[in-house]
Amino acid sequence: MAAAKKVKVGVVVNGSKPGARDVLNQLIEFSQGHANLQLLFEKRTGALIRRPGLSELDLAKKSDLLLVAGGDGSLLDVVESVFPSPTPILGVNIGSLGFLTAVAETEVATILPYLAKNNLRLSPRLALETHFHHSNGRNHLIPCALNDVVISRANVGRLVRIRVEVGDYLVTEYVCDGLIIATPTGSTAYSLAAGGPIISPDAESIILTPICPHTLTNRALVVGAEETLRGSTRSCRTPKFAP
């Protein structure tokens, strides 16, 4: 009978969370009884249990799956650090917010047998690549935004006028405090708080949600993920009143 294929799980735990050591202890105890499950640790995670560790990027390269225990912020940080690695990520919530995580802290013991067999369902997610072109000629690239990208006003006392093009066509011009460009994953984050819709996380779409639009008609827009979005901004003039 052939030996079971070894499954390498990279572990990243936010050590500042109260349940961090409990999750680590469960993983280590379970792995000791399953020879086909090999745990690898991120540097700071390894330091918690006095074991050697790797950078997050190297961890992703050497693992079949990454297990990230923390909150939404921890998961987003890891996604940004390991991009463009295709290694799947399993989020375990031991933080205050866990919209992005698939497993609660109390469910860790339940998912461990599936983890050892690498028998987990994958949910591909859309990420945004963003190019900023500044007026001074400088360009800036954000290669991976899993939740959203926000264009906001630089001057608190002024509204901003944002011209939005989808593909080769002008769609609208918002007069607002800012604009949220969100992925389906990010539809439950800032976009939702600003009045945007909730989109199925595996949908191929992008949400444009204005922040406090200065109109009664502008609402959130949903466009296809294959489209290229272009936006340009300029400040609205502050009105002057006679004394």
Specify whether 72 is catalytic.
Answer: yes
pLDDT tens digits, 80-117: 999 999 999 999 999 776 778 889 888 999 999 999 98
Q: Say whether pTM exceeds 0.85.
A: no
Reported residue count of the chain is 243
Catalytic residue, chosen from 58, 72, 77, 177, is 72
pLDDT tens digits, 197-230: 999 988 899 999 999 988 877 788 899 888 888 8
pLDDT tens digits, 53-75: 999 999 999 999 999 999 889 99
CB crowding 87-112: b at 16 or more within 10 Å, else e: ebbbbbbbbeebbbbbbebeebeebb
